[in-house]
A and B are shown apart, each in its own frame.
Chain A
Amino acid sequence: MVVTSTTRTADGSRSGGLAAPQRRVADLGGRIFSGFSLGAGLVILAALAAVSIFLIIKAWPALTASGADLAEISWFKSDSLLGYVGPLIFGTLLASVLALVLAVPVSIGIALFISHYAPRRLAQSLGYVVDLLAAIPSVVYGLWGALWLLPVINPVFTWLSDKLGFIPLFADYQAPAKNIMSASVVLAVMILPIITAVTREVFLQTPRLHEEAALALGATRWELVRMAVLPFGRSGIISASMLGLGRALGETMAVLMVISPGFLFSFHLLKPGQHQTIAANIASQFPEASGLSVSVLIATGLALFVITFVVNMAARWVIARRKDFSGAN
């Protein structure tokens, strides 16, 4: 979702009547290619438009339904669509952002270790392991979270709630750990490989020229990282995080299998029955849904679509803002 390619239409420059035959062949190739890439770009735009239109049409009945109609849906415990979607959006963002906060520093650490600290042999095998982790289906992470993580993390949460319970964030923990924090930990583990893999590639591409500049000034390894590697990789780190965030926002199974749902605007991270995410909610309600309730679920899907879109735009804006200093020139 982040990797929407910028399609560039070549201007198909004409080379006058003097063009040699070979030149013309090259020209034809160029035009075929530019036509092709223009086409591919249009297909992406068309697909995007088709999805948006589908979502809007299918969500329309819910968007226009009266509170009374909506109230007839058995699981609809709110007086308006917005009142229903609001907590879901909140839960989705909270789970994903928490996951990102947990995953990004660890990912950067692993990526740096692989790219700049580990001996070559070790770095290679670690790289393979990370790539393998990225290929594990999310339902497996969900199983792992529900069966293994929940009991293991229980003492940690108990301790947190005991010692730091005076902070509302950590208050009111109840076992089993079917809370948003556990879901975020699973999500973090899930998005860790992709963020690590992308940032590692970015770090490996730090220009040798700039690494040597730092070293020649007497930089230690860590100073080299701070001076050349991280600044150079900044936009890559942001892209990687957004890629991870995109995955976390839309993740269904891992959350569904871990969290005990609730529909509140709550910052009690350790308390069960407080939060739910859009994707997990759709998955859990959809099998029983019909008519207007399907439409309501699709409306929440539309909200997710918009969120993902906004997140990506924001990422692009952040990257573009410091283009002058990006090293891309």
Chain B
Amino acid sequence: MSKRIDVTDLNVYYGDFLAVEGVTMAIEPRQVTALIGPSGCGKSTFLRTLNRMHEVIPGARVSGKALMDGVDLYGAGVDPVAVRRQVGMVFQRPNPFPTMSIADNVLAGVKLNNRRISKSDAASVVEQSLRGANLWNEVKDRLDRPGSSLSGGQQQRLCIARAIAVQPEVLLMDEPCSALDPISTLAIEDLINELKEQFTIVIVTHNMQQAARVSDRTAFFNIAGTGKPGKLIEIDDTGTIFSTPSVPATEDYISGRSG
């Protein structure tokens, strides 16, 4: 239950605008890959191509390849809906469904796959997923309350529980902590450390310390100027990127001299 993704020569367009150009990288299973870089360099754009969420934006399209364990995600016969069921996503702002209870939020994706889930199965999925998201102890007494009744950090962990409840292969996270306080952020980082034993994780973060703390591999994106496409500058083991990067621009960015 965790697959690798190999991206080759990926370009992403919004209409005529080339937003991301020529990305080639390997995303290893059971590892955390962090995407860092100045804002506007296309980290979110690139991330969304990995579960074809870019397609919900009118005019957005890709060229190039992204193979998940050898299967092209953009292949002719591949259903984007099926891709998204295998590649889960956690957003910048926590977005539990406000009209659903905590338990129903966790089950939202599961019920898509399997309409008729028995009560006891449902209960065990809810418990497992919430435990997996380190949220069980905080909410076990109020599973029928609305998801919006939780704090921001709890809501984000609820969203993670919802994403892992469907047992995806890969988990994408787009700045999952940027709307959270430091304590909630730590809770999520701990969680990411545990989750990588089961899932392939790709996380976008603007916080360098966070990338250093949670990731195994780090990819640095940069942009030459506004209107220019974002590019992958380099990707390497996180330790290497933060100590001896091979490209000077990476070192400049990490040491705060640019970006």
Contacts and interface: CB of A to CB of B under 8 A. Distances in A.
Contacts of A207: 95
A325 B82 CA distance: 29
B91 A212 contact: yes
B56 interface: yes
A3 to B, nearest CB: 23
Contacts of A212: 53, 56, 91, 95
A66 to B, nearest CB: 55
Interface in A224-259: 227-228, 231-232, 234
Interface in A203-236: 207, 209-220, 223, 227-228, 231-232, 234
A324 interface: yes
Given A209-B91, A212-B95, A217 B100 contact: no
B84 interface: yes
A137 interface: no
A191 B9 CA distance: 55
Contacts of A234: 99
Given A213-B97, A324-B146, A219 B53 contact: no
B100 A325 contact: yes
A144 B174 CA distance: 56
Contact of A231 (B53, B81, B100, B148): B100
A176 to B, nearest CB: 46
Given A209-B91, A324-B149, A329-B148, A218 B84 contact: yes
A35 interface: no
A91 to B, nearest CB: 37
B166 interface: yes
B97 A223 contact: no
Given A220-B81, A227-B108, A324-B149, A329 B98 contact: yes
Nearest to A218: B85
B166 A217 contact: yes
Contacts of A209: 91, 93, 95
B190 to A, nearest CB: 23
Contacts of B93: 209
A90 B85 CA distance: 52
B109 interface: yes
Contact of A232 (B99, B112, B146, B166): B99
Among A207, A215, A220, A228: residue with most chain B CB under 10 A: A215
B99 A327 contact: yes
B98 A218 contact: no
A326 interface: yes
A218 B148 contact: no
Contacts of A220: 81
Interface string A42-84: 0000000000000000000000000000000000000000000
Contacts of B58: 120
Interface string B59-99: 00000000000000000000001111100110101011111
Interface in A187-214: 207, 209-214
Interface string A293-329: 0000000000000000000000000000000111101
A219 B81 contact: yes
Given A212-B56, A325-B100, A329-B148, A217 B84 contact: yes
A32 B97 CA distance: 40
Given A218-B113, A327-B148, A213 B98 contact: no
A209 B93 CA distance: 8
B41 interface: no
Contact of A218 (B81, B95, B101): B81
B146 A213 contact: no
Contacts of B166: 217-218
Contacts of B95: 207, 209-210, 212-213
A231 B108 CA distance: 13
B238 interface: no
Interface of B: 51, 53, 56, 58, 81-85, 88-89, 91, 93, 95-101, 108-109, 112-113, 145-146, 148-149, 159, 162-163, 166
Interface of A: 120, 207, 209-220, 223, 227-228, 231-232, 234, 324-327, 329
Given A218-B113, A219-B112, 12 more contacts: A210-B95, A213-B95, A214-B97, A216-B53, A216-B91, A217-B112, A219-B81, A232-B98, A234-B99, A326-B99, A327-B98, A327-B99
14 contacts: A210-B95, A213-B96, A213-B97, A215-B84, A216-B163, A217-B88, A218-B83, A218-B85, A223-B112, A324-B146, A325-B101, A325-B146, A327-B99, A329-B98
